[in-house]
Amino acid sequence: MKHLNPVSPMLLCLALLFGALAPAQAQLRIDITSASIDPLPVAVTDLHGETQTTRELGREIAEVVRGNLSRTSIFRLINPAAYLEGPEDVLVRPNFTNWRPLDAQALATGNVRIESDGQLRTEFRLWDVFGGSQLTGLVFRTTPENARRIGHIISDAIYKRLTGEEGYFDTRVVYIAESGPPDRRVKRLAIMDQDSANHRDLTDGRNLVLTPRFSPTQQVVTYMSYVGNQPRVYLYDIDTGQQEILGDFPGMTYAPRFSPDGEKVVISMARNGNSDIYVMDLRTRVTARLTRHLAIDTSPSYAPDGDRMTFNSDRSGTQQIYTMDADGSNVQRISFGEGRYATPVWSPRGDLIAFTKLLNRRFFIGVIRPDGTGERILTESYLDEGPTWSPNGRVLMFFRQVPGDDNGRGGSVRLWSVDLTGQNLREVSTPLDASDPAWSPLTPLEE
Amino acid sequence: MTVCSPGQADRRAATSLALLAGVIMLAGCSTLGLQGANEASLPHEQALKAHVTGHWTPDLYSGDPAGIIVTARLEMNPDGTVADEPVLSIANNGGQTDAIVQAYVDSVRQAITRSQPFPLSADDHADWRIIELRFNLKEDSGK
């Protein structure tokens, strides 16, 4: 955690002086202890361009930003049709008196141009409309093909400047794309940007794939696949398309997930009818057993500091959530509510664990503190399952199946997202049916 | 892709954070001075509290906002506008990051700006020539 810098002795003296005098002079003191929960009104103009090509790129970037911000519950995007100034008017500095009547608290503007080497140069500025000052600014140089990504990076910059927290827009989601009838379901590993753009399949569907999980440090995915009817855990390099088997174990391996440093993978392994949790060092390929219990221990997920992990087990008689130290010691049960709990996932912020809950034939997505307090249900439906956190821990994505026929078969399954507040529930668009999403970390930037 | 921040923006941000650091210590003093301060109780004070609250839109889920206290000292004109730049003191009791504190302080500045003119009677200007607004979200506020 980053702390503020210490102050000079002179500042301290001034502070003491002010501190002693200020309260005595105040004639009216009021405590403001609550706030409006309305989203923050923001305006995003198209980025200015001198040519038809750059104008179109500027519009494309702005539309990505507007789409990202409007899908959050934090911001309210002011309709561009109401803007009194266009991209060229705000090129140097907006006339803030034209934006205050719209109640825009922040205004994003910018400029794009193609340089002599073909590179796209993009400038972006965020303005405090009521304060009449610039809040932040960025300059990018990249190929025009990266226009959408620039939009995501600008969205993250706006999010961070206005909330103080990292954004989650320059990210991708891997998931299972499903097609075909229920008895011959084809499941492919697929990937897309978090806003559903740039969708592509990573596997061809010949082998069943399940439970993809993103590496927190590389563009690598681990997942389970049935190849030759043998369930195994694989690693897939998204950039190169190379995949490799994680190891040849005597039993069935499943439910893989990376450690926060990306150097280990924790998995479930079924041997002799019993399922326990193991961890593999990706460099040495040495495996260590973490749980030893006759019950089914599965779905392990590390805390962000890597010191602890959560998993689910039926060792108490019903499926519940547990935590333990990363070496398998100090096991503690943390869920005690009604129903069964599964798929626990530790938040990147470390303060919560998301889970799937089954009670009275209904499924729920919820969160609970790592000490077992504060259980909160966010969604409920016929079948909600498999939560994954946005990298800033503010949004959860999961999959929801709707019932088909009377036996509950054949219903469509889609991805959904919900804010940590339980608000802003929305479907995530995919070309086909989709399940088991896994959110990537923020994509690294080249400085 | 190459990314950089304009140098001027960087310098401004650095200055801003230095100022934040300065007022942190200040907050420790003024917070002590506020002990025993009366909660708004008169009708016009309650109206002002509701008015400012309605214009304050911090991000309620960034870090632990309950640990941040921003006190704004305002010199007021009779027409309900603020006469000079608000003097802000900031206490970061929860050890929040600079970025979270900065966003919180910005939200306070914007709330003060958007709340003007304050709904107060000019006849009583002598009673509210100096106003101190203490912005401190309670843990359950708005969530």
Q: List, as one string, the DSSP characters of A387-410.
A: EEE-TTSSEEEEEEE---STTS-S
Q: Bigger pLDDT: B108 or A408?
A: B108
Mean pLDDT of A277-299: 94
Mean pLDDT of A218-236: 88
**Surface of A (316-375) touching B: CB under 8 A:** none
Peptide bond into B58 cis (omega under 30): no
Q: Measured between CA atoms, how close is A100 to chain B, in angstroms?
A: 9
Q: Is A40 on the interface with B (CB under 8 A)?
A: yes
Q: Bigger pLDDT: B59 or A95?
A: A95
Mean pLDDT of A255-268: 94
Mean pLDDT of A231-242: 90
Task: Give the pLDDT of residue A445.
Answer: 79
Torsion angle (degrees, nearest 10) of CA A195, A201, A203, A207:
90
Range in A19-28, A175-184, A247-256 with the lowest mean pLDDT: A19-28
Q: CA-to-CA distance for A235 and A226, rounded, in angstroms?
A: 14
Task: Give the pLDDT of residue B140.
Answer: 55
Is the confidence at residue B33, as pLDDT, over 90?
A: no
Contact A4 B103 (CB under 8 A): no
Model pTM score: 0.82
The three-state (H, E, C) secondary structure of A151-174, written as one string? HHHHHHHHHHHHHCCCCCCCCEEE
CATH topology of domain A172-439: Neuraminidase (2.120.10)
Q: Is A10 on the interface with B (CB under 8 A)?
A: no
Q: Measured between CA atoms, how close is A339 to chain B, in angstroms?
A: 26
Mean pLDDT of A264-277: 90
Q: CA-to-CA distance for A234 and A236, rounded, in angstroms?
A: 7
Number of A–B residue contacts, CB under 8 Å: 224
**A421 DSSP assignment:** T
Q: Nearest Cα to A234, choosing from A260, A253, A261, A206? A: A253
Mean pLDDT of A156-184: 93
Q: Bigger pLDDT: A182 or A41?
A: A41
Mean pLDDT of B110-136: 92
Write down how long chain A is: 447
Domains of chain B are 7-34+41-135 (3.30.1150)
Is the confidence at residue A235, as pLDDT, over 80?
A: yes
How far separated are the first and last CA of chain B, in Å rounded? Answer: 39
Is the confidence at residue A379, as pLDDT, over 60?
A: yes
Q: CA-to-CA distance for A58 and A53, rounded, in angstroms?
A: 9
Domain made up of A40-163: CATH architecture: 3-Layer(aba) Sandwich (3.40)
Which residue of chain B comes nearest to A10, CA vs CA?
A: B22
Task: Give the pLDDT of residue A415.
Answer: 98
ipTM for the whole complex: 0.74
**What is the CA A372 to chain-centroid distance, rounded?**
23
Share of chain A above pLDDT 70, in %: 93
pLDDT tens, position by position, A402-412: 987 766 566 89
Task: Give the pLDDT of residue B139.
Answer: 60
| 8 A C-beta contact, residue B87 and residue B94 | no
Q: CA-to-CA distance for A193 and A147, rounded, in angstroms?
A: 13
Query: Measured between CB atoms, which of A36, A164, A394 is closest to B102?
Result: A164
Sign for the pseudo-dihedral over CA of A347, A350, A351, A355 = positive
Which residue of chain B comes nearest to A119, CA vs CA?
A: B1
Task: Give the pLDDT of residue A98.
Answer: 96
Sign for the pseudo-dihedral over CA of A208, A214, A218, A222 = negative
Contact B4 A138 (CB under 8 A): yes
Identity at A429, one-letter amino acid code: S
Given 3-state DSSP classes, what are the helix, strand and coil percentages for chain A, each rounded to the nearest 5?
A: 15, 45, 40
Q: Bigger pLDDT: A329 or B11?
A: A329
Q: Is A7 on the interface with B (CB under 8 A)?
A: yes
Mean pLDDT of A45-63: 97
Task: Give the pLDDT of residue B1.
Answer: 58
Query: Measured between CB atoms, which of B52, B57, B127 is closest to A27?
Result: B127
Task: Give the pLDDT of residue A25.
Answer: 56
**A444 DSSP assignment:** P
Under DSSP, is residue A35 helix (H, G, I), strand (E, B) or coil?
A: coil
Under DSSP, is residue A220 helix (H, G, I), strand (E, B) or coil?
A: strand
**What is the CA A90 to chain-centroid distance, rounded?**
33
Contact A446 B61 (CB under 8 A): no
Domain ranges of chain A: 40-163, 172-439
Question: CA A41, B56, A165 angle in degrees (round to 5)?
Answer: 70
User: What does pLDDT average to over chain A?
Assistant: 90
Q: Nearest Cα to B32, choosing from B134, B143, B121, B139? A: B134
Q: Is B19 on the interface with A (CB under 8 A)?
A: no
Is the confidence at residue A153, as pLDDT, over 60?
A: yes
Mean pLDDT of A432-440: 96
Chain B residues inside the 8 Å CB shell of A27: 126-131
Contact A28 B61 (CB under 8 A): no
The three-state (H, E, C) secondary structure of chain B, written as one string? CEEECCHHHHHHHHHHHHHHHHHHHHHHHHHHHHCCCCCCCCHHHHHHHHHHHHHCCCCCCCCCHHHEEEEEEEEECCCCCECCCCEEEEEECCCCCHHHHHHHHHHHHHHHHHHCCCCCCHHHHHHCCEEEEEECCCCCCCC
Range in A179-193, A231-245, A397-411, B124-138 with the lowest mean pLDDT: A397-411
pLDDT tens, position by position, A95-136: 999 999 999 999 999 999 999 999 999 999 999 998 899 999
Q: Is A111 on the interface with B (CB under 8 A)?
A: no
Is the confidence at residue A19, as pLDDT, over 90?
A: no
Q: β-pairing, A200-201 with A264-271?
A: unpaired
Contact A37 B60 (CB under 8 A): yes
Q: Measured between CA atoms, how close is A136 to chain B, in angstroms?
A: 6
Task: Give the pLDDT of residue A422.
Answer: 92
Mean pLDDT of B33-52: 65
Model confidence at A260, pLDDT cuts 50, 70, 90, reads very high
**Surface of B (85-114) touching A: CB under 8 A:** 87, 89, 92, 95-104, 106-107, 109-111, 113-114
| 8 A C-beta contact, residue A441 and residue A166 | no
Mean pLDDT of A219-246: 88
Task: Give the pLDDT of residue A409.
Answer: 62
Element (H, E) at A267: strand A264-271
Identity at A144, one-letter amino acid code: P
